[in-house]
Amino acid sequence: MLIGHLGDEVKMHYFDGGNCIGRFSLATNEVYINKTTNERITSTEWHNLVVRNKAAEICEKYLSKGDKIYVEGRIKSRQWQAEDGSTKHTVEIQVTEFTFLTTKKGNEDNKSVQSPEIEKNTNFDSQNNGLPINDLPF
């Protein structure tokens, strides 16, 4: 699970048979306070993300550089031969789930991506530490 900002536009690659993938970089930040200097430090990590088929088309349509997104996926490493004959390696996140947190394209086009409403569980007693009403704490 990652939450971060797109480092660039989604780059699409189309294949014979109609399949496609979208690739984009995601920046995640870790913020902490240096205890000796009391300075706020931000450390940025970059991740290579891959989305497939319909998900890729949705990301291309609604996401742009700087947008904030939540993703879940699997880490995959791969290698290939470059044109100069050298072997290249990369680590990518194959995205399986995503949620748009902020999008500029949606605002510009007066469109918004609707996320499904979260169903509230009403079987909990808020005054009893969130335990289910019919559940004993022992």
Q: Where are the domains of the chain?
A: 2-108
Average pLDDT, rounded, for the chain: 83
Mean pLDDT of 103-115: 54
CA angle centred on 13, ends 6 and 112, rounded to 5°: 45
At residue 25, the pLDDT reads: 98
CATH class of the domain comprising 2-108: mainly beta
**Token pair recorded at residue 65:** 């550089």
Answer whether residue 86 shows pLDDT above 70. Answer: yes
Question: 32-72, pLDDT tens digit by residue?
Answer: 999 999 999 999 999 999 999 999 999 999 999 999 999 99
At residue 108, the pLDDT reads: 54
- Percent residues over pLDDT 90 in the chain: 72
Say how far apart CA 116 and CA 113 lie, in whole Å.
10
Q: Which residue is associated with the tokens 């989305």? A: 51
Contact 104, 66 (CB under 8 A): yes
Answer whether residue 104 shows pLDDT above 50. Answer: yes
R_g over Cα of the chain: 21
